[in-house]
């Protein structure tokens, strides 16, 4: 993308409405704009990050054997009346009437709808287990939307749903998703810790929140340093082996980890003081095992091995895809701006032409831009070098390739790594090799 032609409305001033770093930086770097309270439009740079995160989430869901579907945002009220949640959900649910006076709602989550879909197509225990997911916009009429995309009213969620013939199968699916989550967050470049959680309006008996550490997080968290050493690689754990999954789950849940809501001081005292860690965290995922809470009222049964009807056991698994954009920034920024992890950055590199209009720097930056094949932002407008440096740091692309007239004459560029601030004079070949 050439900055001279791009819609990247950066702001010099700090917007007054933004209380936390990620919200400020998302507005200043031109990633999003608010269109109504808690509702955001995603601009080109923000959308690229949102898509990159969604793609990593998708790949890890697919790798875990979950199948992607796409359910609509609007749902008939009747479905929710059958599960009993239409009344329970209260004012957080956006209720809508169509022209025929039929009641609809903008989905805050999809347990009812997916149960109804699977009920229509799965008749026998032989067709289970199934795990289905989609990445779709949700609406929750939050009392206090705040912190930008972190607590919005409309937000993008990945929600997966598992169906098993018995409790043992359902617990295995839960563990499988937990492993997929650990792998997902690792690829996203953030450290996530699963913590025992309340189940709230989703319900159920087993639930974990995935919390990423960031100084501005909403909850205070306490955890054992043992979490730093858990290996979730494919080499270490075979997701198709229930015994392996059980061992992994055991290791992950054996150590103390809790948010302030669930903090147990007596249990905390038992943790070796040298291993106690405290900080603040942001909930980026939440998983639930709730048995027959939806399958039963919605009348979903399958024929069991003996031909008798069995009510399937279910779980649901959410990741806040749009919240993650803000959460990753909270976990990875400095005074100057965003520091994108390589895996989610909107582009690999910014190319800074320090003398726009100059034939030599223009030829060199155009060549580098072409060779980075669409994965670079070319800062080509006629601006002061200082303003370009500030913008590049604000936008936080992992690499900066700085091209000035002296370097262009010698055939060299300056390559800067945003995360460390390290700068080296290198040849174009070496710069491209490093960027990869
Ligand atoms: N049906 C279940 C799991 S599929 C569910 O809805 N779980 S949830 O309520 O915990 O939401 C899942 C994730 O969505 C949360 O962990 C959080 O990361 C994200 N999320 C929830 N509410 C908001 C919101 N108002 N703004 C942005 N993200 C949100």
pLDDT tens digits along 150-203: 999 999 999 999 999 999 999 999 999 999 999 999 999 999 999 988 877 777
Predicted pLDDT at 4: 95
- Measured CA to CA in angstroms, residue 294 lies from 151, 171, 306, 319, 348 at distances of 27, 17, 23, 20, 44
Say which residue, 45 or 252, is predicted with more confidence. 45
Q: State the distance from the centre of ligand 1 to the C-alpha of 156, rounded, in angstroms.
A: 9
Predicted pLDDT at 238: 95
Over residues 68-108, the pLDDT tens digits come to 999 999 999 999 999 999 999 999 999 999 999 999 999 99
Res. 147: pLDDT tops 90: yes
Q: Whose CA is nearest to atom 7 of ligand 1?
A: 318
For range 211-234, the mean pLDDT: 89
Mutation test of ligand 1: which of 137, 217, 320 has the most ligand atoms closer than 8 Å to its C-beta? 320
Predicted pLDDT at 389: 98
Mutation test of ligand 1: which of 22, 284, 286, 317 has the most ligand atoms closer than 8 Å to its C-beta? 286
Over residues 2-35, the pLDDT tens digits come to 999 999 999 988 888 899 999 999 999 999 999 9
pTM to 2 decimals?
0.96
Q: State the distance from the centre of ligand 1 to the C-alpha of 322, rounded, in angstroms.
A: 10
pLDDT over 90 percentage in the chain: 90
Predicted pLDDT at 64: 98
Q: State the distance from the centre of ligand 1 to the C-alpha of 319, rounded, in angstroms.
A: 6
Q: State the distance from the centre of ligand 1 to the C-alpha of 321, rounded, in angstroms.
A: 9
Over residues 243-265, the pLDDT tens digits come to 999 999 998 889 999 999 889 99
Q: State the distance from the centre of ligand 1 to the C-alpha of 138, rounded, in angstroms.
A: 9
Predicted pLDDT at 47: 98
pLDDT over 70 percentage in the chain: 100
For range 346-362, the mean pLDDT: 97
Q: State the distance from the centre of ligand 1 to the C-alpha of 197, rounded, in angstroms.
A: 13
Predicted pLDDT at 208: 95
- Measured CA to CA in angstroms, residue 25 lies from 33, 152, 260, 394, 395 at distances of 12, 16, 28, 7, 8
Q: State the distance from the centre of ligand 1 to the C-alpha of 72, rounded, in angstroms.
A: 17
Q: State the distance from the centre of ligand 1 to the C-alpha of 135, rounded, in angstroms.
A: 12
Mutation test of ligand 1: which of 323, 329, 330 has the most ligand atoms closer than 8 Å to its C-beta? 323
For range 48-60, the mean pLDDT: 98
Q: State the distance from the centre of ligand 1 to the C-alpha of 109, rounded, in angstroms.
A: 8
Q: Whose CA is nearest to atom 5 of ligand 1?
A: 318
- Ligand 1 site residues (CB inside 6 A) read 109, 140, 142, 151-152, 155, 157, 159, 202, 283-286, 316-318, 320, 322-323
Over residues 374-425, the pLDDT tens digits come to 999 999 999 999 999 999 999 999 999 999 999 999 999 999 999 999 999 9
Predicted pLDDT at 159: 98
Q: Binning pLDDT at 50, 70 and 90, where does residue 310 land?
A: very high
Name residue, tokens 């279910």. Answer: 314
Mutation test of ligand 1: which of 318, 325, 327 has the most ligand atoms closer than 8 Å to its C-beta? 318
Q: Whose CA is nearest to atom 3 of ligand 1?
A: 318
Mutation test of ligand 1: which of 54, 157, 285, 325 has the most ligand atoms closer than 8 Å to its C-beta? 157
Res. 204: pLDDT tops 80: no
To the nearest whole number, what is the mean pLDDT of the chain?
95
- Rounded to whole angstroms, the Cα distance separating 180 from 187 reads 11
Residue 204 zone, left/alpha/beta (φ > 0; ψ -120 to 50; rest): left
For residue 160, the ligand 1 atom closest to its alpha carbon is: 4
Res. 205: pLDDT tops 90: no
């Amino acid at each position: 993308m050439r900055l001279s032609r791009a819609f990247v409305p950066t702001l010099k001033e700090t917007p007054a409405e933004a209380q936390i770093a990620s919200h400020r930086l998302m507005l200043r770097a031109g990633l999003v704009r608010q269109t109504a309270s808690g509702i955001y439009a995603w601009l080109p740079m923000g959308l690229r990050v949102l898509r990159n995160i969604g793609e990593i989430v998708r790949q890890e869901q697919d790798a875990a054997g979950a199948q992607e579907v796409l359910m609509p945002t609007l749902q008939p009220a009747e479905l929710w009346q059958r599960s009993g949640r239409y009344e329970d959900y209260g004012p957080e649910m956006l209720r809508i009437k169509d022209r025929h006076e039929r009641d609809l709602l903008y989905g805050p989550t999809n347990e009812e709808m997916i149960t109804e879909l699977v009920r229509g197509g799965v008749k026998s225990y032989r067709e289970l287990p199934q795990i289905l997911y989609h990445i779709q916009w949700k609406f929750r009429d939050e009392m206090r939307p705040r912190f930008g995309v972190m607590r919005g009213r409309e937000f993008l969620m990945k929600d997966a749903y598992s169906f098993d013939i018995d409790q043992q199968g359902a617990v295995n699916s839960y563990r499988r998703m937990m492993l997929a989550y650990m792998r997902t967050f690792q690829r996203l470049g953030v450290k996530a810790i699963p913590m025992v959680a309340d189940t709230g309006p989703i319900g159920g008996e087993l639930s974990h929140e995935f919390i990423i550490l960031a100084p501005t997080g909403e909850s205070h968290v306490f955890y054992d340093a043992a979490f730093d050493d858990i290996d979730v690689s494919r080499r270490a754990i075979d997701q198709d082996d229930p015994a392996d999954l059980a061992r992994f789950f055991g290791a992950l849940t054996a150590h103390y980890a809790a948010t302030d809501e669930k903090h147990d001081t007596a249990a905390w005292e038992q943790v070796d003081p040298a291993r106690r860690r405290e900080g603040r965290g942001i909930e980026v995922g939440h998983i639930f095992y709730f048995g027959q809470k939806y399958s039963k009222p919605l009348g979903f049964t399958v024929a069991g091995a003996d031909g008798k009807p069995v009510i399937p056991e279910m779980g649901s698994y959410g990741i806040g895809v749009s919240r993650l954009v803000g959460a990753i920034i909270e976990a990875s920024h400095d005074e100057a701006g965003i520091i994108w992890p390589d895996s989610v950055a909107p582009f690999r590199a910014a190319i800074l032409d320090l003398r726009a209009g100059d034939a030599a720097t223009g030829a060199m930056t155009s060549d580098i831009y072409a060779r980075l094949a669409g994965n670079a932002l070319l800062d080509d407008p006629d601006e002061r070098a200082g303003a370009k440096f500030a913008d590049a740091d604000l936008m936080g692309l992992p690499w900066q390739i700085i091209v000035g007239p002296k370097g262009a004459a010698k055939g060299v560029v300056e390559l800067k790594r945003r995360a460390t601030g390290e700068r080296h004079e290198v040849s174009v070949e070496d710069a491209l090799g490093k960027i990869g």
